[in-house]
């Protein structure tokens, strides 16, 4: 029940006075109400069941109960290997424990909560057998190519680096690997998570996951490396060509150059000149730029002007030496190519934060991102916990408590999750299950008739 107390600015929800939800930060009491009224328990259960919900004769009724959940409670109390046999158990435990964070792990060979009983038997039967292919990308890993923010801070000037990562990886996962059921999620603060949920993705071995992660591994830079990317060979891989021509080049030249002022100071352009292996070329360019400082100020963007000069010098006829051939592309890749946390993608047993969690530092909900319109996503407009409860408060008493989420700014995100991701996924899972079931029936029938 949501009540309005007109005598004060704060909220009274289910008898709890919360303070002004529009101005207060993250609050454990808010979290209790969020899990009670807005968190999509049923949708999370449907997703992670993959149609193994007991309704089809071929479904695996133990499937969901072998999934690991990890809860982080207040004061950094960490509960791993939580498991639940059904939706009701999951929902009741979340509402009771009110975790500050929910992480999702793999599906194990046995119920993870009972793993100790199996370990005592002497047989190593407790092992991950299924897990979504996952990717984790943080904006803080781009600190050496952004000047507006650093660390966990993010703004609308540097966030487009995440948009580029989504575009490059999403296109490749679909076109190069044939995956269809891909969920992109805002981490709540500084990055994005990707869940690839096709059956063939969930059943990949660690070696296969490593191979896919390595396929995406182009950025190899560190703080001691002037050249973060080395594009070797006579011809670029078609995936890299597509990424460069369709996404990276345009983004670098039309947005990043100016938003980060990459050539505006000597300190900044020297970082770029260090990526050129020919000292005579860098001296020529440096001399041109130093002399231009003393000339009249141009109305043109200095970042664009200097980039065009750099490109012209590197790509002119006499400069087409083997070592310089790809310098332009390598600079663009160094600044824009996705920087994936490789270890997260390589191993089945890595945990990843559940969608629709609330980030404890920002109070923002980890909402899905539509990869088809990811350039429209604004992390500063993602609903916060206090904002959602304020929206419920404004709505007042309603009889249709089941649709409370629709009365908040979370409704649109949940609707997208259901219509664009969950329904097509479950349809595919049921078709696969039915196909396998019919094949087994036919096989059985054939053996009997023989």
Q: Model confidence over 257-314: pLDDT tens digits?
A: 999 999 999 999 999 999 998 888 999 999 989 877 655 456 789 999 999 999 988 8
Is the predicted pLDDT of residue 444 greater than 60, yes or no?
yes
Is the predicted pLDDT of residue 225 greater than 80, yes or no?
no
Give the pair of three-digit tokens for residue 61.
């009724």
- Quick check: 368 and 196 in contact, CB under 8 A? no
- DSSP letters, 338-376, are ----HHHHH-TT--EEPTT-B-TTT-BB--EE-GGGGGG
Residue 108 CB partners (closer than 8 Å, separation 6+): 66, 67, 68, 115, 126, 127, 128, 129
Q: Out of 24, 53, 68, 130, pick the active-site residue.
A: 68
Confidence of residue 407 (pLDDT cuts 50, 70, 90): confident
Label residue 60 left, alpha or beta by phi (over 0 means left) and psi (-120 to 50 means alpha). beta
Element (H, E) at 138: strand 133-138
Domains of the chain: 28-218+339-442 (3.90.920.10), 238-336 (no CATH)
Q: Out of 53, 136, 198, 390, pick the active-site residue.
A: 136
- Which DSSP category does 127 fall into? -
Average pLDDT over residues 185-191: 95
Average pLDDT over residues 167-179: 98
Percent of the chain with pLDDT over 90: 67
Confidence of residue 20 (pLDDT cuts 50, 70, 90): very low
Which residue has tokens 């997208």?
416
Question: Rounded to whole angstroms, how far apart are CA atoms 175 and 178?
Answer: 6
Go through the chain and tell me how many residues it has.
Answer: 450
> Which residues sit opposite 87 in a β-bridge?
none
Residue 284 CB partners (closer than 8 Å, separation 6+): 313
Is the predicted pLDDT of residue 64 greater than 70, yes or no?
yes
User: Is 87 among the catalytic positions?
Assistant: no
Question: Rounded to whole angstroms, how far apart are CA atoms 304 and 246?
Answer: 20
Higher-confidence residue of 171 and 236: namely 171
Average pLDDT of the chain, as a whole number:
87
- Going across the sheet that includes 16-17, the strands are 2-3, 12-13, 16-17
Helices (H), 176-205: 199-202
Of 391, 385, 419, nearest to 39 by C-alpha is 385
- DSSP letters, 149-176, are --TT---TTTTHHHHHHHHHHHHHHHHT
What's the pLDDT score for residue 84?
A: 97
Higher-confidence residue of 440 and 409: namely 409
- Quick check: 348 and 209 in contact, CB under 8 A? yes
What's the pLDDT score for residue 449?
A: 57
Question: Rounded to whole angstroms, how far apart are CA atoms 64 and 112?
Answer: 11
User: Is 138 among the catalytic positions?
Assistant: yes
Question: Rounded to whole angstroms, how far apart are CA atoms 65 and 84?
Answer: 5
pTM of the model: 0.89
What's the pLDDT score for residue 321?
A: 59
Q: Out of 130, 132, 138, 391, pick the active-site residue.
A: 138
Is the predicted pLDDT of residue 14 greater than 50, yes or no?
no
Average pLDDT over residues 38-45: 97
Residue 409 CB partners (closer than 8 Å, separation 6+): 383, 387, 388, 391
**Cα(first)–Cα(last) distance of the chain, in Å?**
65
- Tally of CB atoms within 10 A around 217: 15
């Amino acid at each position: 029940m949501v009540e309005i107390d007109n005598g004060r600015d704060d909220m009274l929800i289910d008898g709890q006075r919360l303070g002004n939800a529009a101005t207060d930060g993250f609050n454990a009491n808010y979290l209790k109400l969020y899990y009670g009224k807005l968190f999509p328990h049923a949708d999370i259960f449907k997703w992670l069941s993959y149609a193994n919900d007991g309704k089809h004769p071929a479904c695996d009724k133990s499937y969901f109960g072998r999934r690991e959940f990890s809860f982080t409670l207040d004061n950094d109390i960490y509960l791993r290997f939580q498991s639940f046999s059904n939706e009701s158990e999951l929902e009741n435990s979340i509402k009771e424990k009110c975790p500050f964070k929910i992480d999702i792990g793999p599906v194990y060979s046995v119920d993870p909560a009972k793993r100790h009983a199996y370990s005592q038997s002497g047989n190593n039967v407790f092992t991950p057998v299924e897990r979504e292919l996952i990717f984790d990308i943080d904006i803080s890993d781009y600190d050496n190519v952004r000047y507006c923010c650093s660390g966990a801070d993010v703004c609308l000037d540097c966030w487009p680096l995440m948009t580029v990562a989504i575009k490059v990886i999403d296109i490749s996962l679909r076109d190069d690997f044939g995956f269809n059921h891909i969920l992109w999620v805002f981490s709540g603060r500084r990055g994005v998570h990707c869940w690839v949920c096709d059956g063939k993705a969930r059943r990949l071995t660690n070696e296969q996951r490593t191979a896919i992660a390595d396929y995406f591994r182009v950025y190899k830079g560190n703080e001691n490396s002037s050249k973060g990317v080395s594009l070797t060979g006579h011809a670029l891989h078609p995936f890299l060509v597509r990424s460069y021509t369709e996404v990276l080049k345009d983004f670098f030249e039309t947005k990043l150059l100016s938003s980060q002022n990459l050539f505006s100071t000597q300190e900044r352009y020297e970082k770029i000149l260090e990526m050129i292996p020919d000292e005579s070329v860098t001296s020529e360019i440096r001399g041109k730029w130093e002399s231009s400082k003393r000339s009249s100020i141009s109305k043109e963007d200095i970042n664009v002007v200097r980039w065009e000069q750099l490109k012209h010098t590197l790509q002119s006829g006499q400069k087409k030496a083997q070592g310089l051939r790809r310098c332009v592309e390598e600079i663009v890749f160094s600044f824009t190519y996705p920087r994936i946390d490789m270890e997260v993608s390589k191993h089945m047993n890595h945990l990843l934060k559940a969608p629709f969690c609330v980030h404890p530092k920002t109070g923002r909900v980890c909402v899905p991102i539509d990869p088809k319109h990811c350039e429209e996503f604004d992390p500063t407009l993602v609903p916060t916990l206090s904002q959602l409860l304020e929206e419920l408060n404004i709505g007042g008493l309603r009889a249709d408590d089941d649709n409370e989420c629709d009365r908040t700014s979370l409704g649109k995100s949940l609707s997208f999750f259901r219509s664009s991701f969950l329904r097509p996924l479950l349809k595919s899972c049921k078709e696969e299950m039915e196909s396998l079931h019919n094949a087994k029936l036919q096989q059985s029938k054939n053996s009997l008739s023989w």
